[in-house]
Structure 1
């Protein structure tokens, strides 16, 4: 069954809202429901539609059923009063499971970018029976304390011995003015956002401003309150259960990372690959902490190859799922 359709440059799928308690999550499905499922998990402050349509199309053409969704506090999903109902990364992982359940998916290939890569690792540890393969994109090892490293960097203090490098200071400076309030019109919004994307993109690959401008216009159209997504930083600052060790991941794992990532320098990818047994590391020359359209085919091809290999390797397991602790 193929209900997806092209509308201009937008690849639209079958949409639904998923309820998680009082939270409603927007989600979208593409491809044949009988094909193996790929759940795309976006990063902090990012919407599901920021998984490029070109990546989605390529995965669908490669025989995958693709699902993407908006985290709470982004896009068309619910915004949350964090002071009243705080949540954690574990709660965001439970959201991902709720999306799979709503689409009737028992086991999925997980592809997580940035914070989404941490969420995907958490699920691979806590719910191994739900994960066919794991792809960690532009992320870091589960349990890394980035907030402490950022505080030291801002104070001008050197990293602790053995600590992974913090985000580039240029990026931290760009983040301070990148979240305009809901009263900002689209031009003011774009003026605040595009400098951040220039830094995130990196200085090696050509920066296609029109591409990022179109993406952020789409994001702006779907956003209830741009500042609500800052709650993700509060959720991440709480950390994750230290008992959730990436060394216990059993799913075949691919670590994809750009050589010019200013958020998580490549040492983070190397540490992730070292922490997850049998993980394969692929560094993409020139890529920063974004998903430029020019790399759609490369990224989708890596994911398709990894998921195909994983389907040949992975088998069922009787291992009990572990509890993912949360506040909700």
Structure 2
């Protein structure tokens, strides 16, 4: 018999929404979402698959997303280490000393930070659609937008289609609720990649649910500001990671092309790289992929 518990936990002065599902005595899978995305970005289907496989699951809303508190970034700027401290606070709030950490995109970088700086909290690490946490993509993006060739040894920028979407999205109207929802759905469609089908109805329901439950929907954009801040803690060598690590990456990831996943796996001792055919940056709106990703996580956390 498994249970569902929603509660708020404290990270300093912030209150963070959390949800814990499954048998409290089972091993914990700790789900960490990506930039500007609420914890419900991990679909119920995914959570249920992990619970059915004998795990308990914790997911949560980052600061500035969903039902968690928002921050005045100008007065109190934060960085990756602060988001990682929030993650530790969630584990502490549920009395979980160590967990199988599964992070996607920015969440994968948070997982890396924990594995380096708080290794006792990370039983295993799964980094999905991520890049080495010390990689600053800004220069590569700037060269790509300027039409300049990449620098040798530099991890590649997003695909041309994704960069075009970024420019078009910046100019798209967002004055009405419908326009804002449509813009977000277009972004999820591009992140899905161009090979696998895209479940637009599921993406639209998700976006509408996120709008409905957010304290301040626009606050999530501050994650982009946080992601651009680099300090020594973020540049720490990933060779220090001792947790068994699985790097899951989409063959068609338009934001972090596959070289990012390969570079991440190469920097972590013993890491296993699994490239998923056809998968883009976010797998959960491609029919059938949610179950496949769940199977890979279950296998890695067994």
TM-score class, shorter: over 0.9
Q: Does 1:281 align with 2:286?
A: no
Aligned with 2:93 (options 97, 102, 115): 102
Give 3-state SS (helix, strand or coil) of 2:58's partner: strand
| Structure 1 unaligned blocks of 5 or more | 4-12, 309-328
Q: Does 1:266 align with 2:266?
A: no
Partner of 1:150: 141
Partner of 2:2: 2
Corresponding residue pairs, total: 298
The alignment's C-alpha RMSD in Å is 1.7
1:150-173 deviation digits (Å, cap 9, x = unpaired)? 122112222211000011232233
The CA distance in 2 between the partners of 1:297 and 1:15, in whole Å, is 24
The CA distance in 2 between the partners of 1:69 and 1:172, in whole Å, is 29
Give 3-state SS (helix, strand or coil) of 1:216's partner: helix
The CA distance in 2 between the partners of 1:178 and 1:48, in whole Å, is 25
The CA distance in 2 between the partners of 1:230 and 1:148, in whole Å, is 20
Give 3-state SS (helix, strand or coil) of 2:288's partner: helix
Give 3-state SS (helix, strand or coil) of 2:289's partner: helix
Give 3-state SS (helix, strand or coil) of 1:256's partner: strand
Kept in 1: contact 2:100–2:122 (CA 8 A): yes
Alignment of 1:23-38 (within 5 A): 23-38=14-29
Q: Does 1:224 align with 2:218?
A: no
Partner of 1:302: 296
When residues 17 and 181 of structure 1 are mapped into structure 2, their CA distance, relative to the original with a 3 A threshold, is farther
Question: Higher mean Cα deviation, 72-81 or 287-296?
Answer: 287-296
Give 3-state SS (helix, strand or coil) of 2:184's partner: helix
TM-score, with length taken from structure 1: 0.87
Question: Higher mean Cα deviation, 63-72 or 15-24?
Answer: 15-24
When residues 214 and 138 of structure 1 are mapped into structure 2, their CA distance, relative to the original with a 3 A threshold, is same
The CA distance in 2 between the partners of 1:75 and 1:132, in whole Å, is 27
Kept in 2: contact 1:259–1:266 (CA 8 A): yes
